[in-house]
Amino acid sequence: MTRRLWAYPFVPIYAAGLALKQTLARKPRALTWPVISIGSLSAGGAGKTPAVIALAELLAANGYSPTVLSRGYGRAATARNTPDEVVPHAPAAADRFGDEPTLIAQRTGLPVWVCADRWAAGHAAEQQALAHTFNPTTEQASTESTHPPLHILDDGFQHRRLARTLDIVLLTANDLADTLLPAGNLREPLTALPRADIVILREDEAAALTPHLPANKPIWIIRRTLRFPGPMKIFAAGVRPMAFCGLARPEGFIASLREAGCGVAAGLSFPDHHRYTPADIEKLKRTARQHQATGFITTEKDAVKLTPALRARIEDLGQLMVVALDATFTDPEAVVQTLRELLA
């Protein structure tokens, strides 16, 4: 899948740079706790955030204490190199921490740390946990029960500077037909898959993708479903809502809404991780009027970037419905058992 034909001549240059980067890579730094990386071959749209949420919640439900580490893409430039724990419901949280880390923290209720240097984020998380475990005033260990701590590294397959215990990679059908950057969306070719310890496939794509995987590679299957809010479900924003999103693969969001029976009047897409402005909202409302939309529908990832003022501007014209993308493992017991064996 060549997305940008004009950039195709630059693909060999990108590939050469990738090979040089791998050759010159320094020895990764290790953290005290185990690190489970969840990544992908593509630059976006593989579904890493729902998978991180699913794995974090599954681990927490089975006696572990996971902390999520993220680059915090989209943070203010002055904060990118400073480790910070996400405060999920703080004002302008998405600007301060990034949209995906904010969403992960809101959905899971677990600690999420952001920094361009993921080792620094993990080290800060471990130091904070150590400070909470030991009370310097009484010089006695905390009596609270503890669970095995570990880190989940969000989007970490290409982040070689942090040592990891396990590498998990999401593979999609789009990846098989895609091209390396900058013409396509692949950060690495399919030949990088043997580096992964485990591969995650979407339930509806598993049968077609399994033959393309390295032999004897453990596979986890993930089921993705849209969750519509309230008693009205798909009609919460009327029968003809205007859909909008800032995703790497916006066409997938629109298609999934229509497959669920939502009568989408029109769709408007913005760049991935886009920060919404009043001008964007006015454009959205103009488009909605043109298509006689009855309301608006967007993703959780986009909703965390909408300030109360921006939401009020939208809802001047119609109800805003926020749709959640839930991901669950089809065999959660096998996932937990595999992790226990590999982490042991």
Residue 302 belongs to some domain of the structure: yes
Same domain, yes or no: 133 and 90: yes
Residue 337 belongs to some domain of the structure: no
Same domain, yes or no: 295 and 313: yes
Residue 78 belongs to some domain of the structure: yes
Same domain, yes or no: 237 and 173: no
Same domain, yes or no: 165 and 45: yes
Output the pLDDT for position 278.
Answer: 97
Same domain, yes or no: 32 and 13: yes
Same domain, yes or no: 168 and 71: yes
Strand pairing of 35-40 and 166-171?
A: parallel
Render pLDDT for 257-293 as a digit per residue (tens, 0 to 9): 999 999 999 999 999 999 999 999 999 999 999 999 9
Residue 275 belongs to some domain of the structure: yes
Which amino acid would we find at residue 14? Y
Which residue shows structure tokens 């030991």?
134
Query: Domain ends where: 198, 217, 236?
Result: 217
Output the pLDDT for position 234.
Answer: 95
Render pLDDT for 286-317 as a digit per residue (tens, 0 to 9): 999 999 999 999 999 999 999 999 999 999 99
Q: Which two tokens stand for residue 164?
A: 């990891």
Residue 107 belongs to some domain of the structure: yes
Residue 60 belongs to some domain of the structure: yes
Report residue 142's pLDDT band, with 50, 70 and 90 as the boundaries: very low
Render pLDDT for 14-60 as a digit per residue (tens, 0 to 9): 999 998 888 888 899 999 999 999 999 999 889 999 999 999 999 99
pLDDT, the chain, mean: 93
Output the pLDDT for position 144.
Answer: 47
User: Rounded to whole angstroms, what are the CA distances from 330 to 37, 206, 216, 222?
Assistant: 20, 12, 19, 6
Same domain, yes or no: 87 and 30: yes
Whether 143 shows a pLDDT value over 50: the answer reads no
Containing structural domain, residue 288: 227-325
Same domain, yes or no: 62 and 181: yes
Same domain, yes or no: 253 and 186: no
Q: Cα–Cα distance between 133 and 120 in angstroms, integer?
A: 20
CATH number at residue 168: 3.40.50
CATH number at residue 316: 3.40.50.1970
Whether 141 shows a pLDDT value over 60: the answer reads no
Mean pLDDT for 161-188 is 95
Residue 263 belongs to some domain of the structure: yes
Query: Domain ends where: 217, 241, 263?
Result: 217
Q: What is the pTM of this model?
A: 0.93
Mean pLDDT for 84-107 is 95
CA dihedral for 256, 310, 50, 248, sign (positive or negative): positive
Residue 179 belongs to some domain of the structure: yes
Same domain, yes or no: 68 and 198: yes
Nearest to 152 by CA among 191, 112, 183: 112
Count of domains observed in the chain: 2
